Amino acid sequence: MKTVRFKIDGREIEAQEGISVLAAARSNGIRIPTLCYHSALKPIGACKLCGIEVKGRAGKWRILLSCILRVREGLEVRTQSKSVIKARTTAFRNLLSMAPQSKFIRNLAEEYNIDLGPTPDGCIRCRLCIRVCKEIVGAGALKMEKRNGISYVTPEEGLCIGCGTCVNLCPTDAIQMTDREGNRIISIRDETIGVHALERCEACGSYFASRKFIKHVSELTSTHTDLKEHHLFCPTCAKLFSNRVKSFSRIRRGE
């Protein structure tokens, strides 16, 4: 097969005519990132990571995909220019918008010195969790905190009461709550907001609320004038009993 001579980043390269610029670059130790490329499959240029700058006939440079572009005599390409880095950054950002959880893509971008900004943590900074915890629950267990110039939702140490209101209100599931073997863990990213012992329902026996939350509610309601006999019922049993009480009242009234 015919050999052609061309230039990558000003370096003279020899390669078999017809092979891709990507293959020629890689066999000469020049790195170009790819995700959709596989040597056993026809290239389709889906990930767009392998964009390079190619000198046109009129001397104008433009971005083309190196997995698809074939080498030819006199071709000149650049793999590290400003325009290439810009196109590569756009491609990485686009891929991460579809797979934000992918550590593989972020690590690959890092290898190529692409700045993708902070790792998305699933939080849209709506502050619903912080506001409800402070304004309604009254615990104030969450706050905004700047770390390396970026604002994050973080715990106020020791203030979480394990009610789970923030978890229920968060529109993106950025806060997690796990109930296991009588304990509740609330966390955001890999940070623990609170670990809590759970209480069982007096009626059905299932774990239903944290001890701290029950204490918090008891303290808040202790002075209430309509306070009735105190029971530890889960929401389901509480509803069941309140329905029964209503039915008995109706029977008594002869309704």
Query: Could you list the residues that contact ligand SF4 (CB under 6 A)?
Result: 123-129, 153, 169-172, 174-175, 188
Cβ 190 to ligand SF4, closest distance in Å? 14
Cβ 112 to ligand SF4, closest distance in Å? 30
Tokens standing for 64? Answer: 């083309």
Cβ 106 to ligand SF4, closest distance in Å? 20
The residue (of 21 and 186) whose beta carbon lies closer to ligand SF4 is 186
Q: What pairing do the DSSP bridges indicate for beta strands 183-188 and 207-210? A: unpaired
What is d(CA 68, CA 166) in angstroms, rounded to the nearest whole number?
A: 49
Angle CA(93)–CA(99)–CA(103) in degrees, nearest 5? 85
The residue (of 23 and 188) whose beta carbon lies closer to ligand SF4 is 188
Cβ 244 to ligand SF4, closest distance in Å? 37
What's the distance, CA 153 to chain centroid? 14
The residue (of 33 and 162) whose beta carbon lies closer to ligand SF4 is 162
Candidates 154, 8, 173; CA nearest to 78 is 8
Cβ 230 to ligand SF4, closest distance in Å? 32
Cβ 132 to ligand SF4, closest distance in Å? 8
Candidates 16, 6, 25; CA nearest to 84 is 25
Q: How many CB atoms lie within 10 A of CB 145?
A: 12
Cβ 165 to ligand SF4, closest distance in Å? 10
DSSP 154-203: EE-TT------HHHHH-TT--EEEEEETTEEEEEETTEEEEEEEEEEPTT
The residue (of 26 and 127) whose beta carbon lies closer to ligand SF4 is 127
The residue (of 64 and 129) whose beta carbon lies closer to ligand SF4 is 129
Tokens standing for 40? Answer: 């056993």
What is d(CA 106, CA 102) in angstroms, rounded to the nearest whole number?
A: 7
Candidates 132, 21, 107, 4; CA nearest to 66 is 21
The residue (of 56 and 171) whose beta carbon lies closer to ligand SF4 is 171
The residue (of 44 and 124) whose beta carbon lies closer to ligand SF4 is 124
Tokens standing for 209? Answer: 């609320």
Residue at token pair 């390079």? 52
